[in-house]
Amino acid sequence: MGSTQDLDYPQIIFQYINGFLVSKVLFTACELGVFDLLLESGEPLSSDAIAAHLGTSPSGTERLLDACVGLKLLAVEVTREGACYRNTEISNLYLTKSSPKSQYHIMMYYSNTVYLCWHYLTDAVREGRNQYERAFGNSSKDPFGAMYRSEEEMLKFMAGQNSIWSICGRDVLAAFDLSPFRHIYDLGGGGGALAQACVSVYPNSTVAIYDLPKVVQVAKEWFVPSEERQITFHEG
């Protein structure tokens, strides 16, 4: 039940109304490489300098940067020469491509794929089926067939899943003591990030990943080094 204050000014309703705008500001700044540029530069940059580096419009860039400041994704320093922008600590850690904790890939997946499907949420609820057909022209009968409509799309999905495990994989695996189990099976193990975290947390374990043949091929080629002897793949 809402408090009287909530009923006078429905803050959570306004937060929900604007939520997708916040996501898109974050996704756009990541996609354009704002956080990567500010990490590489090692010093605060003006909006014009950022626009020149990124090849974006000065006016659009300034608005995007100010929105990021409002969201605490960037900090601004105002001097006599004007405003200069720098990354916040959290942005350096999670929003730059080169960070080991980077969430770049999952954000790009959300921005370019999930976002488009969610545009058709009303249709999904009416029809009781996913909306890949409307969003991408792929049959909705086989969700993974639609998600993996090209090797590029598959790579993006797998990299996105892996980026989440880079943050919480070890905690998930340590939540239960799996040390008595020497042979662990990861059904639908995808890009293998959880398996890699598993053999790191439990060095005496081996992990067998089962997944679709084309996913196994991509995981071996891109994500799990061939020297990794504790992880095996099985196509199913």
Ligand X SMILES: C[S@@+](CC[C@H](N)C(=O)[O-])C[C@H]1O[C@@H](n2cnc3c(N)ncnc32)[C@H](O)[C@@H]1O
Contact region for ligand X (CB under 6 A) — 17-25, 67-75, 113-121, 204-212? 204-212
Distance of closest approach, residue 165 Cβ to ligand X, in angstroms: 6
Classify residue 104 as exposed, middle or buried by CB count within 10 Å of its CB (0-12, 13-18, 19+): buried
| CA distance between the termini of the chain | 49
Closest CA to 172 of 205, 206, 204, 195: 195
CB of 216 to ligand X, least distance (A): 9
Question: With respect to ligand X, which residue has the nearer C-beta, 136 or 144?
Answer: 144
Q: Which of 73, 173, 198, 215 binds ligand X (CB under 6 A)?
A: 215
- Residue 60 lies near ligand X (rule: CB under 6 A): no
Of positions 77, 188, 200, 221, contacts ligand X by CB under 6 A: 188
If the CB atoms of residues 45 and 194 are measured against ligand X, the closer one turns out to be: 194
Q: Looking at 29, 65, 189, 199, which residue binds ligand X (CB under 6 A)?
A: 189
Minimum distance of ligand X from residue 224's CB (angstroms): 12
Q: Is residue 144 at the binding interface for ligand X, with CB under 6 A as the rule?
A: yes
Whole-angstrom CA distances from 233 to 112, 150, 158 are 29, 21, 15
**By Cβ distance, which residue is nearest to ligand X?**
188
One of 96, 103, 161, 163 touching ligand X (CB under 6 A): 161
H runs (alpha helix) in the chain: 4-8, 11-32, 34-41, 47-54, 58-70, 89-94, 104-109, 115-118, 121-127, 132-136, 143-147, 151-174, 193-201, 213-218
103 sits near ligand X (criterion: CB under 6 A): no
CB-based contacts of 73: which residues, under 8 Å, 6+ apart?
A: 26, 29, 35, 87, 88, 90, 91, 95
Q: Which residues bind ligand X (CB under 6 A)?
A: 144, 161, 188-191, 193-194, 210-212, 215, 236
